[in-house]
Structure 1
Amino acid sequence: MSWTLYPARDFPRHIETWTGLHATLGPRHATVLLSAPFVAPLVAQFGREGDLLACWRQGGTVRAMAIVRPGRRGAWATFQPAQAPIGLWLQQEGLDTERLARALLGALPGFPLIPALTQMDPYLAPRPADGPCTRTLDYIDTARVTVRGSFDDYWNARGKNLRGNLKKQRARLEREGVATRMEVERQPGAMAQMVADYARLESAGWKGAEGTAVRADNAQGRYYHAMLENLAAQGKAGVYRYYFDEQLVAMDLCVEDGESIVVLKTAYDESVPSNLSPTLLMREEATRALFNEGRLERIEFYGRVMEWHTRWTEEVRTMYHVNYYRWPGLGRLHTLLDARNRPAQQPTTSL
């Protein structure tokens, strides 16, 4: 029982192994965010020299895998580009995560002090208890909607302000003769155009001004194109587009598995008057469609909870990081230094 390490750039050679392990996790744990079609483009576009693919075998069978990256001062962490909502760590149910992490310490090159599991979802992996060599840290609160019952029941449980505001917006658009429509694109061959359309929306706004927008020709654009195309070929991707007449005003880039749909990226036309909310109008129609279809159980947002999320749902959970220390004293020292460096009453939210 041991870890074997490979350069992460060789991930394509190990896709079948990753896919086979992912398939053994069961519907709840086999999130699309850890599937090979999602992960391979992440490694291709955002990986760098020194990243490692780790495989843990028991009795000749791979039962855990991870992609890890070296950090400073002897720390390693799961590969965590901004485009990945959760850390790239796979393990079969019933395995002891702390035991796996401690074994990884002995396999990593050099003399590592900390392997960290980042952006863990308590729904997929229950949060472990702190111990002598284990420390968990809050990351962010994130929201989801459980798709159960009728949309009307769900919508009537939303606040009056939200329902009334969107109803007024629709009435205004109707008075002004503006027709709204939502389109959902699922064809693999259309994903290049979808990403190009998304890039135009995002680049025209504040992200474009800051230089952080998706562009069709940058690493983000290449990633979303490849990933969406990969998953669309499996029927697991959908791009939602919303129009005022012929004007594209909002888009969602989404991926799906057997139980959930994940809204990865949202962009809207910032030239639309501020008293109209094309994103929320689109989301109302998209949510209604998902309730009516009854295919999926959850709508996952995974970003930090915003004010609009709290109007959309009461379901909020806290994602977390885990540090596993070589020695108990190192964990105590890290906790002490972190407390000294953190402003008073500010919760720990990152490694």
Structure 2
Amino acid sequence: RHGRVVAMGIVVRKRRGAWETFQPSQSPLSLWLHDPAADLQELLASLLRALPGLPLMLGLTQRDPQLEQRPSESGQLNTADYIRTARVTLAGTFEDYWNARGKNLRSNLKKQRSKLQKEGTVPRLEAFRAPEQMAQAIADYGRLESAGWKAERGTAVHPDNAQGRFYTSMLENFARRGAACVYRYWFGEQLVATDLCIEGNGCIIVLKTTYDESVPSSLSPTLLMREECVQQLFNDQRFARLEFYGKVMDWHTRWTEEIRTMYHVNLYRWPGLLQLHRLIQNRHAQPVQPAAQTAPAAAAELAQPQTTE
């Protein structure tokens, strides 16, 4: 508008009549940006009209209420919960933050550190930030992950597979901008845990975590690493918050009470389509009656999970 970009995104056709933002599994947020002063429904309606094939619906996946206000629903636009996610605000001192954690967490990690000390094992945290360190970081990350349960499912990162090549290239590029960090945690000479992180706009995001599953179950290398990482982040005061951007797990709730719900946005070409979509979803949620009529094929396809995790 007037020579100024107000929105940009990458969208793909997911099924007949439905488009949505491209959402690679490695991305915590959808690939869509817009000027906060612009009306989101107007932007989506304009794009919907421009897409080929007379699309009936356009969806924005994985939106963050921390970054933009969740839009109000209308006759053509609705939103749906995605996941609850957690963050840690890095304000004040680490001591105040740590004293506010649960007694069980603090006591458990203190006992683990005492155990390591008695065994003569020295834990050590290091951070890789240079571009030339990223290939080694991913190789070591892949070695740990490929020895664990993810290897059995075929989802482990390895320097020679597509995931490994992606993370190596991505982190090298971020590191050239001073916006990548790989935390590595050691028990003596044994690498036992690692975090892949990116940074920017006052925020550090943990993308992936792995650990050495051969470590005795009485020790939690990931939690020990997290404690030292968070302490370092509080002390450095480089960032305003630490983001996990994953589905809230039990261990998240021991580190923070700051939990919010991410969401999807769906815009329909006509109000009647949104009403029909809701009707079909309600019918799918109920036992099917023998005499139930079949909805039109296009509307049935729109009812496929666009609004669930």
Shift of 1:343: 7.2
Q: Distance in 2 between matches of 1:131 and 1:93?
A: 19
Aligned to 2:167: 224
Shift of 1:220: 1.2
Q: Closer, same or farther in 2 for the Cα pair 1:343/1:236, shift >3 Å? A: farther
Aligned to 1:50: none
Aligned match for 1:105, one of 48, 53, 58: 48
Q: Distance in 1 between matches of 2:53 and 2:32?
A: 21
Q: Distance in 2 between matches of 1:317 and 1:349?
A: 17
Aligned to 2:71: 128
SS at match of 1:158: coil
Q: Distance in 2 between matches of 1:127 and 1:338?
A: 22
Shift of 1:93: 1.9
Aligned to 1:261: 204
Aligned to 2:151: 208
Contact 1:140–1:349 (Cα < 8 Å) also in 2: no
Aligned to 2:94: 151
Contact 1:147–1:290 (Cα < 8 Å) also in 2: yes
Q: Closer, same or farther in 2 for the Cα pair 1:67/1:195, shift >3 Å? A: same
Contact 1:252–1:266 (Cα < 8 Å) also in 2: yes
Letter in 1 for 2:236: E
Q: Distance in 1 between matches of 2:72 and 2:186?
A: 48
Aligned to 1:182: 125
Q: Distance in 2 between matches of 1:128 and 1:63?
A: 17
Shift of 1:340: 2.7
Q: Distance in 2 between matches of 1:230 and 1:68?
A: 24
Contact 1:145–1:315 (Cα < 8 Å) also in 2: yes
Aligned to 1:93: 36
Structure (1 or 2) with the larger CA radius of gyration = 2
Q: Closer, same or farther in 2 for the Cα pair 1:132/1:287, shift >3 Å? A: same
Q: Closer, same or farther in 2 for the Cα pair 1:349/1:343, shift >3 Å? A: farther
Shift of 1:69: 0.8
- Number of aligned positions between the proteins: 292
Residue 241 in structure 1 maps to residue 184 in structure 2:
yes
Aligned to 1:18: none
Matched ranges for 1:303-318 at <5 A: 303-318=246-261
Deviation readout 1:19-58 (Å, 9 max, x if unpaired): xxxxxxxxxxxxxxxxxxxxxxxxxxxxxxxxxxxxxxx1
Aligned match for 1:251, one of 181, 184, 194: 194
CA RMSD, 1 decimal = 1.5
Shift of 1:349: 5.3
Shift of 1:90: 0.9
Aligned to 1:76: 19
Q: Distance in 2 between matches of 1:343 and 1:175?
A: 59
After TM superposition, the structure 1 stretch with the greater mean CA deviation from structure 2, 277-286 or 61-70, is 61-70
Q: Distance in 2 between matches of 1:276 and 1:163?
A: 14
> What is the TM-score normalised by the length of structure 1?
0.81
Q: Distance in 1 between matches of 2:151 and 2:286?
A: 32
Q: Distance in 1 between matches of 2:259 and 2:104?
A: 20
Q: Distance in 1 between matches of 2:276 and 2:69?
A: 26
Aligned match for 1:340, one of 266, 280, 283: 283
Q: Distance in 1 between matches of 2:307 and 2:97?
A: 32
Runs of 4+ in 1 over 2 A off after TM superposition: 339-344
> Which stretches in structure 1 are left out of the alignment for 5+ residues?
1-57
- Amino-acid identity (%): 61
Shift of 1:329: 1.0
Letter in 1 for 2:71: P
SS at match of 2:181: strand
Aligned match for 1:273, one of 192, 216, 230: 216
> What is the TM-score normalised by the length of structure 2?
0.92
Aligned match for 1:163, one of 106, 127, 130: 106
Aligned to 1:64: 7
Q: Distance in 1 between matches of 2:131 and 2:264?
A: 34
Shift of 1:249: 0.4
Aligned to 2:308: 350
Shift of 1:338: 1.8
Aligned to 1:114: 57
SS at match of 2:206: strand
Aligned to 2:264: 321
> Which stretches in structure 2 are left out of the alignment for 5+ residues?
288-305
Letter in 2 for 1:131: S
Shift of 1:342: 3.7
SS at match of 1:62: coil
Q: Distance in 2 between matches of 1:108 and 1:269?
A: 47
Aligned match for 1:172, one of 115, 119, 128: 115
